[in-house]
A and B are shown apart, each in its own frame.
Chain A
Amino acid sequence: MKIHEYQAKELFAKYGIPVASSRAVTSVDDAAAASREIGLPVVVKAQIHAGGRGKGGGIVVAKDEATVREAAERILGSPLITPQTGSEGQIVRTLLIEKASAIASEFYLAVTVDRAKRSAVVIASRAGGVNIEETAERDPEAILKEWVEPAIGLRPFQASRLARKLGLPKAAVRPATKLILNLYKLFCAEDCSLAEINPLAITEDEEMIAIDAKINFDDSGLFRHPANQELRDLSEEDPLEVEATAVNLNYIKLDGNVGCLVNGAGLAMATMDLIDHVGARPANFLDVGGGATAEMIEKGFRILVDDPDVEAVFINIFGGILRCDVLAEGVVAAAKAVNVKLPVIVRLEGTNVEAGREILANSGLSFRTAADLKEAAQMVGDVVKGAAS
């Protein structure tokens, strides 16, 4: 789960990671008031989950109140388009008004999980403030790493080694060591999958300060952090995805024309690939999971046909824990309720497959049932070609 910069900075402050004084606001007047309170100059920062905000005009340095007002007026309530948002952009609802820092140099610092090494890793670089992936590709030597032995945790000598390798001014090594240890502490205690400071700045007074803050929580660890669950911003997410999550469906909206409903994440991805393979484009990822009820199937089906881009629906189920008859009941109920006009291709296999096929055949609805995955793929291809001609 992603959170906003201002929320991440509140957590930083709690763990002793230095941040500039700031206030999150939602109106132009409050933005102006906050800038007076904090003291000019300030930085006006659009709060959306996507990165690259500066490139989209979402970050403005303001030396006077008029500039604060002007920026707030322009940014609030409007879509901000960045390299990470897609062409429609993301509506900005909150601004962070932050005391401007006199930056002498910028660094990159993050803690994340290294899957291959099966441990946490602290990543640091002198190349701060820029895209770290690009740096890693262009100049791997510029990326410093300290892996954390899971049974022991990050040790002070590792943090201080990293601080020295970064080539920090002597006076900054000790505070940086402490900062790295605190970031690791936050990363573990709050069940994060990423805790990133980019850039981490050293000011002209040789003080360290986190200019930006990015935290992703491990979704699997959220159950033990009720306060962090509250930080979720539903307005940053696709409304259909929010609806799906509410009934425990795993749905991701894509921009294709064939909707698909599948059990199991791997088979769902493979089904998307199959749709693509026959010349159509998947409209979504939808994994109904193993324990789906007829109601969940019905809901999932409705979400698919509610997507205006969908021209055909492909249901691909390999029944195991999820029985084919339960699936068929849900699909029939939903198709009748929404009076679906779209072609629906169904491929069923596994537990209670005969009962499932019978329910579909006796429903009075015109489903196209495929005997196996190969035939189903052909049917999807034919339907899409038919629609195009």
Chain B
Amino acid sequence: MSILINEKTRALVQGITGGEGRFHTERMLQDGTNIVGGVTPGKAGESVEGVPVFDSVADAVAETQANASILFVPPAFAADAILEAAEAGIELIVCLTEGIPVHDMLPARRYVDLVGAKLLGPNTPGLISPGQSKLGVMAGYIHKPGSIGIISRSGTLTYEVVHQLTALGIGQSTCVGIGGDPIVGLSYKELLPMFEADSETEGIILIGEIGGSAEEEAAELIKKEIRKPVVAFIAGRTAPPGRRMGHAGAIISGGSGTAEAKMTALTAAEVTVAASPAEIGAAMAERLGR
């Protein structure tokens, strides 16, 4: 098993005829994703890598019964693309775009909730259930099917952790990037219970960073609801306050959002907090008794 996506997921690619869209469609197909259609306004009737292109998400859903969508859409139009997918009944919307204005995301996020869809991102590398399906841009080959669930706010740091796990012979059930923006969709508190309920997931790795309070909320939830072993790492212990560290969401403001506070909260929830990013995989191996 896995969470959110598996080999049955019927995926659309919004922005499929652009450079990024084309490139990653090919790679996602190689990693086993069941891509049933693409969307680019005005390009209906064309095809990309054998995938039929539609003018709108609604057209594509009517024709293909797609239930998930991944977006390769520039920042100025991305919130609109999220709304279009939500309106058409897509259940899981994965938005990779970095740099969407916060004032566009606030109403988009609200509408997604209103129609009962799930949004991942924006500013995420996406998600992968190794060997089954990938809606994202991560390199498939570093992954290995297995039993560890990963939830992360960062891209390349997640690749690092996956690499450490795979090198130790530990596979992954699903790796989910929740995105580095201040306003994102699914977060730790929605994803942790999914991993807890997934019969194949044995342990969960939570990769957080400075800014906001999502990790503190996650710690509260872990204390109450999560029985599986959890290992965490919080990036940004050495970041100065008031500066935006690359990710728009990674900023310590007014004494809140510090790595210290997050690590303290997680430790109190009996989460193993790795002191060094080089030891995250090993910490999970230890928790699993391997």
Q: Which residues of A contact B (CB under 8 A)?
A: 113, 115-116, 118-120, 132-133, 136-137, 149-151, 188, 191, 193, 218-221, 223-224, 250, 252, 254, 262-277, 281-282, 285, 287, 290, 318, 320-321, 349-351, 372-374, 376-377
Contacts and interface: CB of A to CB of B under 8 A. Distances in A.
Given A266-B152, A273-B259, A285-B245, 5 more contacts: A136-B254, A266-B207, A269-B245, A318-B156, A351-B139
A277 B275 contact: yes
A265 B247 contact: yes
A277 B239 CA distance: 13
Given A318-B156, A320-B138, A277 B276 contact: yes
Contact of B156 (A136, A263, A376): A263
Contacts of B145: none
Given A273-B236, A320-B159, A266 B278 contact: no
18 contacts: A119-B110, A133-B254, A150-B110, A151-B107, A191-B102, A220-B101, A223-B75, A252-B240, A265-B154, A266-B157, A267-B277, A269-B210, A269-B245, A269-B250, A285-B243, A320-B138, A320-B139, A350-B159
A133 B258 CA distance: 15
Contacts of A318: 156, 159-160, 163
Nearest to A50: B242
A285 B246 contact: yes
Contact of B157 (A219, A267, A376): A267
B156 A320 contact: yes
Contacts of A223: 75-76
Interface residues of B, number: 64
B277 A372 contact: no
B91 interface: no
B118 to A, nearest CB: 14
B43 to A, nearest CB: 24
B261 interface: no
B142 interface: yes
Interface string B232-264: 010111111001111111100011000100000
A115 B180 CA distance: 12
B202 to A, nearest CB: 24
B143 interface: no
A97 B113 CA distance: 49
Given A118-B109, A351-B139, A272 B213 contact: no
Contacts of A262: 156
Contacts of A269: 154, 157, 209-210, 235-236, 238-239, 245-246, 250
Contact of B153 (A132, A266, A290): A266
A265 B102 contact: no
B238 A272 contact: yes
A133 B155 CA distance: 32
Contacts of A191: 101-103
A195 to B, nearest CB: 12
B279 interface: yes
Interface string B172-187: 0000000010110000
Interface string B157-171: 111100110010000
B229 interface: no
B103 A373 contact: no
B100 A151 contact: no
Contacts of A263: 156
A118 B189 CA distance: 14
Given A193-B102, A277-B275, A374-B279, A272 B239 contact: yes
- List the 8 closest A-B pairs by CB distance, nearest first: A266-B154, A265-B246, A264-B156, A221-B101, A266-B157, A270-B277, A133-B254, A269-B235
A270 B110 contact: no
B107 to A, nearest CB: 4
Contacts of A274: 276-278
Given A113-B102, A273-B238, A321 B243 contact: no
A320 B159 CA distance: 9
B250 A265 contact: yes
Nearest to A221: B101
Nearest to B211: A115
Nearest to B282: A374
A218 B102 contact: yes
Contacts of A270: 154, 157, 160, 233, 235, 277
